[in-house]
């Protein structure tokens, strides 16, 4: 498997993407190559000083640096990037994916630009109108997929219904969930109350469409406080509320981590062993469990990492791309969406 | 001060409202009376067996049971409750507030019904178009007010701008914040990115209105992962996304609490002292810090408690009503909104 990395995306840029790529190569001997897209000189400089590279210079053999002059900024409008950022690291990485030089692409760059460029470069699956960004929530006993979390700010009921179908296809394509995949995936719609009719008109119409669709098991509305604790497989929502729900969960985890740290340091107590474990769990939850969202509906595998992700978070996003590609997501999606 | 309690609201009903009311009377000797609205016999039965009442029968002297035949259910439509639930505990409590038999009212009942009935019974302040539900987020160093969290599912830019003005009035009326109240409150708008133009059309228009309003200090967009960690005073949003943001924060806190418990009990280790403290903090955060949202824009003080709140959560909501009333919220709101 070969993976393209937009090395310049996100707030941390090379400081996240280079150590993450090296860690992946070290952890996965079967990854044939990682291609790093960005300014050649800057990438090479970062590689020369990277700890993992110094420890194991042979990792360099599975790395390929592909020069990209430009980069897309967080403030760039999706509508203009195709015209104005033709030589950007993100677009060149997606082009390599489109022509099958690589098997998956990971970027933590501008979300709107990534969706627009991925759609343009790789194309969408037959019958798919809108690409959705799908996050995997770290529920205690099984994953719940939340979509859309940011590609489509305003959605129609038809779009929400299609998100439900794409989410179900993802559940069924997940080879780690063989027992659940035989059942119809359980689907809910995110709203502000669980009683029928709570929420807005679009949600109400989407509920009707999903309830009538016998390819899924639509089990009703869900409130955001149950997102991490419910037994369902897929939660559908528009990209505005989904993005807010996901980031609120993530922010609260970080807030509690700081809170525990502050109260420990105030008392000048060392963190107890089990507290350290809780703290590590919170860190992991923060950096990785919430990170790495898949762009659903594309003909190729593209994973979006959080714009603020550090090396650990970015590594988790690459791990997700590997897992999806190993699970033959796209092939299974095509069959499921027929 | 006298407080009306809708004793039948919420998932827990009397099991939450009775112990909470008794705890408040015990903790606040200066609260002259709590009036409990609901079926007389059921309330009296609950009072007879309540622990706090058995321990201190004199609390009964400051309690007044006011009979209400009916109650509003979570599934009732706001449009029909005024017609069909004329003798409900919620409506009778609000009527007592409207005619100044009490100073504040607290309910954990159906949100839509509470907003509609409060608006109808108590009236809105001059110039206020929409009542907003305003939650206080438990940020580490100062409170941030988030509104709307559920009264208005769809909002115009004008409404969001008015929410900003009402939130600023609340900041300035908060007598615990004298140093901050002399400054212009810092206002942000909730969106899915912080770069100008991120989000939907309504948010973009609201940003323009707030930026041009010199009564506040509008400092830009905010993403949901910063809600608990930002330095701003007020965050505006529509009631759909605000409700989702608030409940996602609350749900994550609960999720982490269960997570810490599970990992402790799995290892059969007792909770360490500092872990117990963290655990208590999480419990408090869950039950109270997120609970008790004020209905802004009304002529009288109404606090909405979470539908699922237990006795501790409901007590926190009553505490909030006491604090607002002591701060003379409504009087100060009238001056601020002029």
pLDDT on residue B281: 61
**Stretch B84-98: mean pLDDT:** 92
Does A223 lie at the interface with B, CB-CB under 8 angstroms?
yes
Q: Which of A192, A227, A260 sits opposite B243 (nearest CB)?
A: A192
- Residue B187 in tokens: 């206002």
- pLDDT above 90: residue A276: no
Total H helices, total E strands in chain A = 13, 11
pLDDT on residue A259: 72
Distance (Å) from the C-alpha of residue B22 to the closest C-alpha of chain A?
Answer: 28
Task: Work out the pLDDT band at A142, boundaries 50, 70, 90.
Answer: confident
- Most confident stretch, A281-295, B16-30, B135-149: B16-30
Residue-range domain boundaries for chain A: 1-128+297-338, 129-294
SS (H, E, C) chain B: CEEEEECCCCCCCHHHHHHHHHHHHHHCCCCCEEEEEECHHHHHHHHHHCHHHHHCHHHHHHEEEEECCECCCCCCCHHHHHHHCCCEHHHHHHHHHHCCCCCEEEECCCHHHHHHHHHHHHCECCCCCCCEEEEEECCCCCCEEEECCCCCCCCCHHHHHHHHHHHHHHHHHCCCCHHHHCCCCEEEEECCCCCCCCCCHHHHHHHHHHHCCCCCEEEEEECHHHCCCCCCCEEECCHHHHHHHHHHHHHHHHHHHHHHHHHHHHCCCCCCHHHHHHHHHHHHHHHHHCCCEEEECECCEEEECCCCCCHHHHHHHHHHHHHHHHCCHHHHHHHHHC
Contacts of B282 in chain A (CB under 8 A): 256
What is the C-alpha separation between A163 and A296, in angstroms, rounded?
A: 9
pLDDT on residue B257: 77
CA dihedral (B85, B89, B90, B94) positive or negative: positive
User: φ, ψ for residue B302 (rounded to 5)?
Assistant: -125, 130
- pLDDT above 80: residue A103: yes
pLDDT on residue A98: 97
- pLDDT above 70: residue B17: yes
Local structure of residue A88 (DSSP, 8 states): B
Give the rounded percent of residues in chain A with a pLDDT score beyond 70. 88
Does B82 lie at the interface with A, CB-CB under 8 angstroms?
no
**Stretch B143-156: mean pLDDT:** 93
Window from A177-186, A245-254, A274-283, B1-10 with minimum mean pLDDT: A274-283
Does A175 lie at the interface with B, CB-CB under 8 angstroms?
no
Answer with the residue of higher pLDDT: B280 or B32.
Answer: B32
B151 contacts B130 by C-beta, under 8 angstroms: yes
Task: Work out the pLDDT band at A258, boundaries 50, 70, 90.
Answer: confident
Does A80 lie at the interface with B, CB-CB under 8 angstroms?
no
Residue tagged 């969202």 (tokens):
A293
Cβ–Cβ below 8 Å for B274 and A282: no
Contacts of A148 in chain B (CB under 8 A): none
Task: Work out the pLDDT band at A284, boundaries 50, 70, 90.
Answer: low
- The length of chain B, given as a count of residues: 338
pLDDT on residue B133: 96
**Stretch B145-170: mean pLDDT:** 94
Relative orientation angle of helices B111-122 and B89-98, to the nearest 10 degrees: 30
Cβ–Cβ below 8 Å for A259 and B225: no
Cβ–Cβ below 8 Å for B244 and A248: yes
CA dihedral (A38, A44, A48, A52) positive or negative: positive
- Residue A229 in tokens: 């604790």
Q: Which of B193, B240, B248 sits opposite A200 (nearest CB)?
A: B240
- pLDDT above 90: residue B337: no
Contacts of B247 in chain A (CB under 8 A): 192, 223-225
Nearest chain B residue to A196 by CA: give it: B75
pLDDT on residue B268: 55
What is the C-alpha separation between A224 and B255, in angstroms, rounded?
A: 12
Average predicted confidence (pLDDT) for chain B: 88
**Stretch B262-270: mean pLDDT:** 60
Pair type for strands B63-67 and B293-296:
unpaired
- Residue B37 in tokens: 């609205």
Cβ–Cβ below 8 Å for B274 and A277: no
Q: Which of B240, B262, B281 sits opposite A199 (nearest CB)?
A: B240
Task: Give residue-wise pLDDT tens across range A52-64.
Answer: 989 999 999 999 9
Window from A203-207, A268-272, B83-87, B202-206 with minimum mean pLDDT: A268-272
Does B27 lie at the interface with A, CB-CB under 8 angstroms?
no
- Assign a CATH topology to domain B1-128+297-338: Isopropylmalate Dehydrogenase (3.40.718)
What is the C-alpha separation between A274 and A288, in angstroms, rounded?
A: 21
Residue tagged 């609350």 (tokens):
B250
Cβ–Cβ below 8 Å for A224 and B241: no
Element (H, E) at A50: none
pLDDT on residue A79: 79
A173 contacts A329 by C-beta, under 8 angstroms: yes
ipTM computed for the complex: 0.87
Cβ–Cβ below 8 Å for B150 and A77: no
pLDDT on residue A332: 80
**Stretch A33-52: mean pLDDT:** 96
Window from A173-177, A315-319, B40-44 with minimum mean pLDDT: A173-177
pLDDT on residue A254: 82
Q: Which CATH superfamily is domain A129-294 in?
A: Isopropylmalate Dehydrogenase (3.40.718.10)
Cβ–Cβ below 8 Å for B255 and A77: no
What is the C-alpha separation between A240 and B33, in angstroms, rounded?
A: 45
- pLDDT above 90: residue A273: no
Task: Give residue-wise pLDDT tens across range B102-126.
Answer: 999 999 999 999 999 999 999 999 9
Cβ–Cβ below 8 Å for A227 and B75: no
- The CATH number for B130-290, chosen from 3.20.20.70, 3.40.718.10, 3.30.70.100, 3.30.300.350, is 3.40.718.10
Element (H, E) at A176: none
pLDDT on residue B59: 94
pLDDT on residue B212: 96
Window from A244-253, B1-10, B252-261 with minimum mean pLDDT: B252-261
Answer with the residue of higher pLDDT: B39 or B142.
Answer: B39
- pLDDT above 90: residue B147: yes
Largest Cα separation within chain B, whole Å, is 61
Secondary structure of residue A100 in the 3-state scheme? coil
Rg, Å, chain B Cα set: 20
Task: Give residue-wise pLDDT tens across range B170-207.
Answer: 888 775 555 554 678 999 999 998 888 888 899 999 99
pLDDT on residue A180: 53
What is the C-alpha separation between B331 and A275, in angstroms, rounded?
A: 47
């Amino acid at each position: 498997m070969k993976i393209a990395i937009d090395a310049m995306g996100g707030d941390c840029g090379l400081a996240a993407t280079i150590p993450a790529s090296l860690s992946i190569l070290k952890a996965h001997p079967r990854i044939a190559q990682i291609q790093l897209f960005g300014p050649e000189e800057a990438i090479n400089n970062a590689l020369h000083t990277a700890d993992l590279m110094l420890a194991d210079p042979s990792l360099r053999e599975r790395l390929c640096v592909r020069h990209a002059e430009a980069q897309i900024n967080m403030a760039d409008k999706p509508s203009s990037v195709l015209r104005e950022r033709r030589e950007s690291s993100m677009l060149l990485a997606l082009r390599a994916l489109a022509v099958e030089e690589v098997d998956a692409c990971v970027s933590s760059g501008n979300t709107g630009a990534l969706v627009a460029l991925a759609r343009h470069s790789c194309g969408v699956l037959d019958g798919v109108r809108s690409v959705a960004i799908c996050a995997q929530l770290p529920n205690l006993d099984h994953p719940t997929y939340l979509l859309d979390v940011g590609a489509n700010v305003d959605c129609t009921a038809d779009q929400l219904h299609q998100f439900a179908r794409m989410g179900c296809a993802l559940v069924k394509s997940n080879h780690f969930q063989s027992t659940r995949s035989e059942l119809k995936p359980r689907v809910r719609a995110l709203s502000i109350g669980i009683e029928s009719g709570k929420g807005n008109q679009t949600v109400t119409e989407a509920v009707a469409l999903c309830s009538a669709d016998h390819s899924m098991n639509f089990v009703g509305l869900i409130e955001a406080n149950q997102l991490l604790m419910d037994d369902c497989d897929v939660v559908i929502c528009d990209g505005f509320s989904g993005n807010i729900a996901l980031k609120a969960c993530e922010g609260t985890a970080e807030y509690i981590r700081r809170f525990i740290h502050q109260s420990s340091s105030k008392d000048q107590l060392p963190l107890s062993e089990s507290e350290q474990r809780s703290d590590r769990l919170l860190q992991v939850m923060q950096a990785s469990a919430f990170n790495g969202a898949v762009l659903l509906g594309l003909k190729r595998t593209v994973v979006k990492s959080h714009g603020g992700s550090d090396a650990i978070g970015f590594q988790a996003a690459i791990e997700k791309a590997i897992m999806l590609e190993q699970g033959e997501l796209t092939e299974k999606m095509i069959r499921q969406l027929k």
